[in-house]
Structure 1
Amino acid sequence: MPRKRDIEIKSWHAVPPPEVCPLCGRAIPPDQRDLHHFIPKSRGGRETVPLHRICHRQIHALFSEAELEQSYSTTKQLLTDPAIRKFVAWVRKKPPGYYDGTRRSRRRLG
């Protein structure tokens, strides 16, 4: 008969898998998690998707709410934009907890 100390104890608690940012593909740390409305709330959007804070801020720095509603209402559509593709190529090399300030796009100024 095996002794109690030799029996492997299995936990009933399963650790949930980490959330993955659909834009950059990196794991999202809890302190860097933002919920993004692909169709802005001001335009009737209800569904949200978790994104890295830096990815979320970059989307809103580049596009107006009207552009998000009309042209960029999915991840696939966002990735067709050259500025977003360039950003994603850059941010994929960073660690999951990386955050840096976001600058507004020059085309949105004015």
Structure 2
Amino acid sequence: MSEGAACFLCGRPLGRRVEWHHPVPKSRGGRETVPVHPICHRIIHRTLSNRELERSHSTAAALRQHPDIQRFLVWIADKEPDFHAPTRRARR
């Protein structure tokens, strides 16, 4: 990971722990991966199904438009790159 790399979802600098997210899920034929914070990766998968990710949320811009992810992004914005906390499953 290069110095100054940013998280695909929140745009904050990446910390020591980096996970790799498939914008189009691997189970749906996705091959590309992008770097994300572990907490950002958790919120993506706890908020959206693989079908939703494939059909309408495969870009960072589309993910950021989801109301639950918008709330998360406001909350996480001032946290350190290696900040981690439990994430809860979104209510459906």
| Greater relative contact order, per chain length (Cα 8 Å cut-off, separation 6+) | 2
Q: Could you report, residue by residue, the CA deviation over 1:61-95 in whole angstroms, capped at 9, with x for unpaired residues?
A: 00000000001010011111111111001101111
Give the TM-score normalised by the residue count of structure 2: 0.92
Give, in angstroms, the shift of residue 30 of structure 1: 2.4
The match for 1:28 is 14
Q: Does 1:75 align with 2:76?
A: no
Write out the 4+ residue segments of structure 1 that deviate beyond 6 Å after TM superposition. Answer: none
> Which of 34, 42, 58 is 1:57 aligned to?
42
Aligned length: 91
Amino acid at match of 1:100: A
Amino acid at match of 1:26: R
Which protein shows a greater Rg?
1
Q: Percent identity?
A: 48
Runs of 5+ unmatched residues, structure 2: none
The alignment yields a C-alpha RMSD, in angstroms, of: 1.0
Give the TM-score normalised by the residue count of structure 1: 0.78
